[in-house]
């Protein structure tokens, strides 16, 4: 069976979205299945990202020249059109049995749709991992001066949603609440996974850093974006340090809000309390987890999110807002604050975990159990394959 992974919407060299984490790990596991051959069609930035994650393969083809800082018009319209007309894309998909579009962005989904129509036997697996918030809704994180950005995102996604509902053979979503949006079409709840090899080795080594001796009281990992609560994170940590002046927060990741986050850190006088570490992966990221007590996931609009699970695999309890998707994503090991966007209430939950050793231990054990039971990537990839029915 020949499967094509279409991952051409990658826009920066340092970050990794949830959809890209999923596609990279499915590639690693599915290529081990007998008689399965996978070709990845990506852009210049995407190919470099795959290489940085240890995948250098002749079956990864650069079909969409791209660079950081491109305009939205060039990134969406011109790149999408170039992919549809690219003879290499046409040749690869003309021989394929299935195509998996990594995201709902036009660069991934529209070419998949076009070639699905051109080659009727081609089965289309559509990744649709986050619904753009309605611009005028209370839940939208795109408010004030960010409204235009949110409106653009919403308007660009609507036609793709229609195409996926009408033409995709299988839809991948991240959490159970999204299944009903595509029913009765076959839908697979992917959720995501975690490679637990290094964390299990560390936790059984007898050299685990005692909680009280760890450098960071909490860690945040994720794209520095509106939906992830990146700016709200600064407000939360100001509340925490009002009660614990020396509390330290590690921030792993980068994104469009990095400059604003640094500005808020200076405004609040938290330069000694917050360390912006940039994008980390592998051993450097693991060292931060070893030195952290709690993982924060302050998203105010999310379909799930895998970043917290990465830290929970190292025994870190988590705190989030009580979003619908997170109830099924993280049924245990993550304490949930009822009022979304309430920085003081979120900080209060963080402080209770830091002050109550029994509550901390109980939540930590629950987090670790959840990851071991249902988040290990090898198990997740096999489960997703069995439910896809190609």
* 304 has a pLDDT exceeding 80: no
Rounded-to-integer distance, Cα 351 and Cα 318, Å: 12
What are the DSSP calls for 247-304, one per residue? --EEEE---TTHHHHHHHHHHTT-TTTEEEEES--HHHHHHHHHTEEEEEE--SS-S-
Q: How many CB atoms are closer than 10 A to CB 184?
A: 5
Rounded-to-integer distance, Cα 27 and Cα 38, Å: 7
Q: Which tens digits make up the pLDDT trace of 288-297?
A: 999 999 999 9
Bridge partners (DSSP) listed for residue 274: 249
Residues 164 and 46 in one domain: yes
Stretch 298-307: mean pLDDT: 83
Q: Which tens digits make up the pLDDT trace of 314-329?
A: 999 999 999 988 988 8
Stretch 14-26: mean pLDDT: 81
Rounded-to-integer distance, Cα 389 and Cα 247, Å: 49
Q: Which tens digits make up the pLDDT trace of 31-56?
A: 999 999 999 998 888 888 888 888 87
Its domain, for residue 61, covers: 2-193+377-388
Residues 185 and 331 in one domain: no
What are the DSSP calls for 59-115, one per residue? TEEEEE---TT--HIIIIIIHHHHHHH-HHHHHHHHT-SEEEE-SSSHHHHHHHHHH
Question: Which residue has better confidence, 67 or 240?
Answer: 240
- Tell me the CB-side half-sphere exposure of residue 187, using CA atoms within 13 A: 19
Residues 339 and 381 in one domain: no
Residues 180 and 236 in one domain: no
Q: Contact at 8 Å (CB) between 111 and 89?
A: yes
Residue 216 parent element (H or E)? strand 216-221
Residues 216 and 104 in one domain: no
Q: What is the pLDDT of residue 150?
A: 82
Residues 228 and 155 in one domain: no
Secondary structure class of 27 (helix, strand, coil) = helix
Q: What is the pLDDT of residue 68?
A: 61
Q: What is the pLDDT of residue 110?
A: 95
- Token pair 């309605």 is found at 134
User: In which order are the strands placed within the sheet that holds 98-101?
Assistant: 60-64, 37-43, 2-7, 98-101, 123-127, 170-173, 187-189
Pair of tokens at residue 190: 């992917």
* 13 has a pLDDT exceeding 60: no
- Tell me the CB-side half-sphere exposure of residue 343, using CA atoms within 13 A: 14
* 121 has a pLDDT exceeding 90: yes
Rounded-to-integer distance, Cα 155 and Cα 157, Å: 5
Q: Which tens digits make up the pLDDT trace of 355-372?
A: 999 999 999 999 999 999
Residues 223 and 285 in one domain: yes
- Percent with pLDDT over 70 in the chain: 96
Q: Which tens digits make up the pLDDT trace of 225-238?
A: 888 899 999 999 99
* 14 has a pLDDT exceeding 80: no
Stretch 20-35: mean pLDDT: 92
Residue 321 parent element (H or E)? strand 318-321
Q: Contact at 8 Å (CB) between 355 and 334?
A: no
For the chain, how many structural domains are there in total? Answer: 2
Q: Which tens digits make up the pLDDT trace of 159-217?
A: 999 999 999 999 999 888 899 999 889 999 998 899 899 999 999 999 999 999 999 99
Q: What are residue 38's phi and psi, to 5 degrees? A: -115, 130
* 390 has a pLDDT exceeding 80: no
Stretch 130-146: mean pLDDT: 77
Q: What is the pLDDT of residue 64?
A: 74
Residues 206 and 321 in one domain: yes
Going by pLDDT thresholds of 50, 70 and 90, the confidence category of residue 152 is confident
Residues 95 and 160 in one domain: yes
Q: What is the pLDDT of residue 314?
A: 97
Read off the pTM. Answer: 0.83
Q: What is the pLDDT of residue 5?
A: 96
Burial class (CB in 10 A: 0-12, 13-18, 19+), 131: middle
Residues 312 and 357 in one domain: yes
Going by pLDDT thresholds of 50, 70 and 90, the confidence category of residue 223 is confident
Short-list 311, 320, 326, CA closest to 349: 320
Stretch 242-269: mean pLDDT: 95
Q: What is the pLDDT of residue 255?
A: 85
* 30 has a pLDDT exceeding 60: yes
Question: Which residue has better confidence, 99 or 174?
Answer: 99
Short-list 225, 155, 216, CA closest to 350: 216
Q: What is the pLDDT of residue 295?
A: 98
Q: What are residue 333's phi and psi, to 5 degrees? A: 85, -5
Residue 190 parent element (H or E)? none
CA dihedral 385, 386, 387, 388 (to 10 degrees): 50
Q: What is the pLDDT of residue 62?
A: 84
Residues 94 and 161 in one domain: yes
- Tell me the CB-side half-sphere exposure of residue 321, using CA atoms within 13 A: 22
Q: What is the pLDDT of residue 343?
A: 96
Q: What is the pLDDT of residue 70?
A: 64
Residues 181 and 211 in one domain: no
Q: What is the CATH number of the domain that holds 118?
A: 3.40.50.2000
Rounded-to-integer distance, Cα 351 and Cα 181, Å: 38
Burial track 353-382 (b if 16+ CB lie within 10 A, e otherwise): bbeeeeebeebbebbbebbeeebbbeebbe
């Amino acid at each position: 069976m020949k499967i094509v992974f279409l991952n051409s919407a990658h826009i920066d060299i340092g970050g990794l979205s949830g959809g890209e984490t999923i596609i990279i790990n499915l590639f690693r596991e599915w290529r081990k299945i007998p008689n399965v051959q996978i070709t990845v069609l990506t852009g210049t930035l995407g190919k470099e990202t795959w290489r940085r994650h240890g995948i250098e393969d002749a079956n990864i083809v650069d079909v969409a020249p791209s660079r950081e800082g491109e305009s939205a018009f060039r990134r969406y319209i011109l790149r999408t059109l170039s992919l549809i007309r690219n003879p290499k894309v046409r040749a690869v998909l003309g021989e394929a049995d299935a195509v998996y579009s990594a995201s709902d962005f036009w660069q991934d989904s529209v070419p998949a749709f076009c070639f699905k129509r051109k080659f009727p036997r081609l089965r289309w697996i559509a990744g649709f991992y986050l619904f753009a918030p309605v611009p005028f809704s209370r839940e939208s994180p795109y408010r004030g001066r960010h409204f235009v950005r949110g409106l653009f995102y919403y308007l660009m996604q609507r036609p793709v949603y229609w195409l996926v509902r009408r033409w995709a053979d299988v839809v991948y979503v991240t959490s159970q609440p999204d299944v009903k949006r595509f029913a009765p079409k076959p839908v697979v709840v992917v959720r995501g996974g975690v490679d637990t090899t290094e964390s299990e080795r560390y936790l059984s080594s007898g050299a685990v850093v005692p909680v009280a001796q760890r450098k960071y009281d909490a860690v945040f990992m994720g794209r520095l974006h509106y939906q992830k609560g990146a700016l709200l994170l600064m407000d939360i940590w100001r509340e925490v340090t009002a009660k614990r002046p020396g509390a330290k927060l590690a921030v792993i990741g980068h994104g469009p809000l990095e400059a604003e986050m640094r500005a808020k850190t200076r405004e609040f006088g938290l330069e000694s309390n917050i360390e912006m570490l940039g994008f980390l992966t592998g051993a450097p990221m693991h060292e931060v987890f070893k030195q952290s007590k709690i993982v924060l996931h302050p998203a105010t609009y999310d379909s799930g999110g895998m970043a917290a699970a990465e830290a929970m695999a190292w025994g870190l309890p988590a705190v989030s807002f009580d979003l619908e998707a997170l109830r099924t994503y993280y049924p245990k090991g993550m304490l949930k604050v009822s009022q979304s966007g309430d920085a003081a209430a979120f900080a209060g939950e963080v402080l209770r975990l830091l002050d109550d050793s029994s509550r901390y231990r109980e939540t930590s054990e629950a987090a670790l159990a959840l990851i071991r039971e249902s988040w290990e990537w090898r198990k997740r990839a096999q489960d997703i394959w069995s439910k896809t029915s190609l």
